[in-house]
Amino acid sequence: MGINFGSGDGAAAGPVIPPSVSVADVGMVIQNEFRPKSKNAIKLRRILNEGPGVLDNPVVICFKIGNEDVIYADFTQGKGQVYEGIFSGTVGITLSLPQELFDSLMDGASQSQFLQAYLEGQITIDGDMQTLMQLQKLLPNMQSS
C-alpha cells in the first residue's frame, strides 16, 4: 500500500507513492530537480567545484547574464552552490554582464580584462565590493599577481 496524504475521507489528495520507492530515490529526484540546467549555471558550478569554492564571508552572488535566467552562487553554507531563477535569501552582490563577457571570465579572463570591461560599462556591479574581491580567489586568472 502506498502513502496517501488525503483529506481523511479516503480521497487521494495527490499522487500515491508506491512502496517500492525508497527515501534515497525521492532524494535523487529532488537533487536532480535543483541541479543546474543552463550552460551558464553548469559552467559556474564546474568552476566552483574545481577550485577552493569557499569565500571568507557567507554571501550570495547574483549573476545576471544577458537575457538568460538569473544565476545565484550561494556561499552561506560553505562551498558555493549554484541555483537558477529564484532564490529566497539575501543577495550580497549582483553582477550584470553580457554573455560573451561571462564566458570570457569563466574561461580565464585576467583581472585587467575584468577591470577594463567594468570601466567600459560592460559590467554593472550592485552591492558589497569586498564580496567582489573575494570572488577573485575562485577564478584562478582573476587573482592578483
End-to-end CA distance of the chain: 64
Cβ atoms 57, 104 nearer than 8 A: no
What's the DSSP call for residue 143? S
Instruction: Give me the average pLDDT of each 10-residue run along the chain (145 residues).
Output: 50 56 47 63 83 76 91 85 86 92 82 86 88 72 50
| pTM, to two decimals | 0.68
Cβ count within 10 A of residue 17:
13
Tell me the fold of 36-142: Nonspecific Lipid-transfer Protein; Chain A (3.30.1050)
The one-letter code for the residue type at 48 is L
Torsion of CA 123, 127, 130, 133, to 10 degrees: -20
